[in-house]
Amino acid sequence: MKIINSHYIPLPEPRWLIADPYGKIYEHLGTLTVIEQDPDIKKGEYGIITHQHPVVAFAETGYVEDAGDKINYVASLTIPNGHVLDDIDLKECTQICLSKSRILPYIKFNILAYKYLVSKPVEDFDLDDLVDSLKSCSIKLLFPKEGLQEIDLTTINGECDGMIVSDMTQLFFAVPFMAVLHKEGDKIVCEIEDEKILMEFVNQARAYLHINPKYRFHFRTSLEVLNEIVEKLNNELNDYLERKEA
C-alpha cells in the first residue's frame, strides 16, 4: 500500500458514541482520511482509493462493582487521546447516541444488534454481551415498559436453513436454525431442531430481563414451517426465565 496523503478532521462537541461491527463502543473524536494508490490499477494507469477511519477514545474503561444481588457498572471515558481504528472504515460503524445524553431507543438497539450478529460467526453472537456493553458505558436503554411482549417471527435465507428473526419493530431475536429434510410418502417433511432453538431463544430472552425483569414473551408466526417451534416457545420459554423484582 502506497500512502499518497492523509488528513485528520477533529470533531466538535457534542461528540457521538459509536460502535464498531463487533459491538465495541467508543467516543468518536475525529476522522482520519487516508488516500492511497490503487494497488489493482493496470500498468501505465493511475488511480486512488480513499479510506476514512474513526479516531476514538475508548468508552468502556469502567469496572464492575458487586453490591450483593445487584451489579453496578462504574464507567468513565478515557482521556481524549485518539486511537485510530485503522482496520475499520467509518461507514462500518454505527452511531449510538451523543456522549452527553446517553439514551438509546430500542429500535436503534435492534439495528445495532443485527449489525453485531452479521459481523460475527453465528455461534459467537451473544445478546447478553451487547446489553452489558451498553450498560457499562452508562447508556440508558429506552425499551417498552409493558410486561407482555408480542414477537412476530419469520425466516431469512430460506425456510429450512438460515435464521429465525423477529420483526425489527419489536424486541430483537435472531436464532440460527438447520432443518433436516426427509420424505414421508409423497411429502417432503422439514424437521427443525426444536430444543436447540428453544434454548437460544431463552438465552436472548434472559438478556432482556436485565432491562426489564417483568417481561413475558408471546411468539407468533405466519409461516407453517415455524408453527411447531412457536408453540414450543409459548409453552416452555417463560418457564426457563428467572425473574427478580425490578
**pLDDT at residue 186 in the model:** 65
Using the predicted structure, report yes or no on whether residue 174 has a pLDDT greater than 80.
yes
Is the whole-model pTM more than 0.75? no
Averaged over 189-205, what is the pLDDT? Answer: 81
| Domain boundaries along the sequence of the chain | 3-142, 148-240
Distance between CA atoms of residues 239 and 102, nearest Å: 34
Using the predicted structure, report yes or no on whether residue 124 has a pLDDT greater than 80.
no
- Burial (CB count within 10 angstroms: exposed 0-12, middle 13-18, buried 19+), residue 35: middle
Phi and psi angles of residue 232, each rounded to the nearest 5 degrees, phi first:
-65, -40
Are the C-beta atoms of 20 and 10 separated by less than 8 Å?
Answer: no
Using the predicted structure, report yes or no on whether residue 245 has a pLDDT greater than 80.
no
Averaged over 191-211, what is the pLDDT? Answer: 86
Q: What percent of the chain has pLDDT over 70?
A: 77
